[in-house]
Structure 1
Amino acid sequence: MLMYDEEKLKHDPAANFGRPYQQCSISVMDTIADPDIRFDEKGICNYYYEYLERETAAVPKGAEAERQLKEIVDKIKVSGAGNKYDCITGVSGGVDSTYLALMAKKLGLRPLIVHFDNSWNSESAVKNIENIISKLGFDLYTLVVDWEEFKDLQIAYLKASVVDIEAITDHAIIGTMYRLAAENNIRYILSGANVVTETTLPRYWIFNKMDHVNIQDIHSQYGKLKLKTFPFFNSTKKRLYTKLKKVETVFPLNYLPYNKKEVKDEITRELDWRDYGGKHYESVFTRFYQGYILPVKFGIDKRKAHLSNLIFSGQIKKGEAIEELSKPGYDLQQLKTDYEFVLKKFELTEEEFEQILKLPRREHSEFKTEKSVWDQYMVLKVMKGIRNKIKV
């Protein structure tokens, strides 16, 4: 198997996209993690300032945070009066979604819990979700996708050699949440996304999760099966749900004190939660994708972003992050087990998979992308032009 050599990448000019190697003076983000990273005269990277801006805008403190959270909770309860559920939230078995479910219970909310089963759940994830449901007394809706279709879609992404292979899972989750909210007359989606642990994420690593056109084009070129059951979603549908059904997404964790270590201790104590050892490692494929495919094929170590975000929010020191990065990102025995399991599940030989890893990176933008509603329809495009001229 190919193995990731961090030191070799650091001293390889090509791996740094023609730039001299540089690491942020505050965090562990560097020119390997992001070829477009920017530094000021003090050596501080743009991600630090972006974090401060997001925190200032979206993370109130103290009594103000409590007031705003109460206001949100009160609106949710009023909107759900007379309904079985007053909100909806997804669970993966990971830290953020587990803590959000626990806090929803403590805040007196009545969420419908949604889980997306794409056939990659670890045993620990299944147990964590079972504990959430049984101990908190919530109802669970599980969307199980057709494995043969989803496998064909994942393999298409691997062969297309694009970076954001997880976009298809995120796309399905987002679409399912909005659909279920509308069907159950639920106006509020609770999201576990939060500023203090998740702001730092280079665009070089990801693509628009909502772009159904991109997914369909990649699959049309590299897939074999017809996608009959995959829950496609798009921006137009989202606008309809938002405007007509008045579905709104809120982010409760931004209003709560959110220290990662303390949160892990709390959910372990109250829900018998089990730690996976990595962010989003509740999925076997996500663990393999983040721990092996990303660093080996794309030179991306996602730990740099996760640890940097914790540095920015004051939860760890830079020295702690450097020490963490000095450790293998993947337990070697677990890697061997996962490598064999993933290839067997995908029905790929080692030679076929290694050839995929050697393919050069392609950008998602090399495939078709979703146009705005104005550009999709000629009449609207003309109207847009007229409107812009009037504005001028």
Structure 2
Amino acid sequence: MRPYQICTNCVMDTSDSKIEFDEHGVCDHCRGFKGDVLPNWHPNDDGKAMFRAQVEKIKEAGKGHAFDCIMGMSGGLDSSYLLHLAVSEFNLRPLVFHVDGGWNTDLAVNNIQVLVEGLGLDLYTEVINWEEMRDFQLAFFKAGVPHLDIPQDHAFIATLYHFANKNNIKYILNGGNYATECVRNPKEWLYYGTDMAQLRDIHRRFGTRPLGTYPFSSVLFHKVYLRYLRGVRVVKPLNYLPYTKEHASKVLSETYGWRPYPQKHFESRFTRFYEAYWLPTRFGYDTRRVQYSSLILTGQMTRADAMARLEKPAYDPETIDEEFEYIATKLGITVDELRHYHQMPLKTYEDYANQQWMFEAGAQVMKTLGIERAIKR
């Protein structure tokens, strides 16, 4: 087992088993940001001009339609601020699209509502069949893998893409951004969410009911078919515009009464439990290292502040028993069964059928073409 080491520039460490350090102790995440992202990222007037050119294309495509684009809305900071900018600054007419996977927090519901009402928009909500979602999530628990959030994430993505395709919507606004996400979760922590071979294998082995209505979308469907045959474009405006967490949260709070979350992705009750407790205590993976390292690299957090925050767990030890009770009850199992899954032997994506080769080849092609940056290994 390799000795423990932490990057001298960010807070990524050897909990990422594939991390590499140079002679100065700087990790490959930092070097990837400096070499791949920074030279191609322009969150300034140049970037704003580039996005305005895209806005004109979006508006042209939407002429004669009720909406000129579609945007997935979780109630999180990224999607909320993107919605604010898209409407108030660029006068776009997005269909606000929310997928209810059964785990919304009250805060997320409130944040979606205040944004939609404040901007005078329509909200379309698609509800995933809970019994199928529950069965799929339990299959991942039984599989023993780290990437328990795939059933929820995949449903969100697939539902949005299929809706856009069915309704001939040509532009999808996406809140993904370099400012808070330039460091990516290592593959061993959070595996590819659209590896259909893996999804089918895990459910075939551990699922108990057919997924008759659960939405699936293979990477070939939304990366190739939708983009090149149907002409559907995914646009990430926050990569063209000045964006910092502190400013965005202040604007949303003062303008709409939006309220911040303790941590990124905590708009989902399941994701809060999974990222704050399950991943760190079962696998030793703390996603805050990825989030804080992104903020360090983009000048929004000091390394000293990140190190201090990491000294405390992301979950509240005094309420974790209540969280176990809530998650177990929602999934229709006992707390003892849920704790059994926490103690069972560790598994990885490599223990199940996968198409890793296809994803890595596609990622390299996208990087070569300049479509995507900061692709980790």
What is the TM-score normalised by the length of structure 1?
A: 0.87
The residue that corresponds to 1:166 in the other structure is: 149
Which residue of 308, 330, 336 corresponds with 2:293?
308
Unaligned stretches of 5+ residues in structure 1: 1-17, 374-392
Greater shift, 36-45 or 335-344, is seen at 335-344
CA contact (8 A) 2:135 2:209 kept: yes
CA contact (8 A) 1:55 1:196 kept: no
Alignment of 1:1-392 (within 5 A): 18-32=1-15, 34-106=16-88, 107-200=90-183, 201-238=185-222, 239-370=224-355
Deviations 1:150-197 (A, max 9, x none): 101001000101111112222122222221112222111111000121
Moved over 4 A (4+): 370-373
Q: Indicate the RMSD between aligned Cα atoms, in angstroms.
A: 1.6
CA contact (8 A) 2:188 2:349 kept: no
Q: Name the CA distance, whole Å, in 1 between partners of 2:144 and 2:52.
A: 46
Deviations 1:68-113 (A, max 9, x none): 1111111111111111111111111110011111111121111111
Q: Output the amino acid matched with 1:154.
A: Q
Deviations 1:218-244 (A, max 9, x none): 011011111111001113322222223
Cα deviation, residue 371, structure 1 = 8.8
Q: Name the CA distance, whole Å, in 2 between partners of 1:245 and 1:234.
A: 15
Q: Name the CA distance, whole Å, in 1 between partners of 2:181 and 2:79.
A: 13
The residue that corresponds to 2:371 in the other structure is: none
Bigger CA radius of gyration: 1
Q: Output the amino acid matched with 1:73.
A: V
Q: Name the CA distance, whole Å, in 1 between partners of 2:160 and 2:76.
A: 18
Cα deviation, residue 342, structure 1 = 0.4
Cα deviation, residue 265, structure 1 = 0.8
Q: Output the amino acid matched with 2:105.
A: S
The residue that corresponds to 2:367 in the other structure is: none
Q: Output the amino acid matched with 1:219.
A: H
CA contact (8 A) 2:173 2:236 kept: yes
Cα deviation, residue 58, structure 1 = 4.1
**Structure 1 residues 53 and 81, CA, compared in 2 at 3 Å: closer, same or farther?**
farther
Q: Name the CA distance, whole Å, in 2 between partners of 1:137 and 1:323.
A: 41
What is the TM-score normalised by the length of structure 2?
A: 0.90
Greater shift, 54-63 or 179-188, is seen at 54-63
Unaligned stretches of 5+ residues in structure 2: 359-377
Cα deviation, residue 370, structure 1 = 4.6
Equivalent pairs, count:
355
The residue that corresponds to 2:375 in the other structure is: none
Q: Name the CA distance, whole Å, in 1 between partners of 2:357 and 2:217.
A: 14
Q: Output the amino acid matched with 2:343.
A: K
Q: Name the CA distance, whole Å, in 1 between partners of 2:319 and 2:244.
A: 28
Cα deviation, residue 358, structure 1 = 1.5
Q: Name the CA distance, whole Å, in 1 between partners of 2:40 and 2:55.
A: 17
Greater shift, 314-323 or 232-241, is seen at 232-241
Greater shift, 224-233 or 58-67, is seen at 58-67
The residue that corresponds to 2:361 in the other structure is: none
Cα deviation, residue 360, structure 1 = 2.1
CA contact (8 A) 1:58 1:254 kept: no
CA contact (8 A) 2:67 2:94 kept: yes
CA contact (8 A) 1:191 1:250 kept: yes
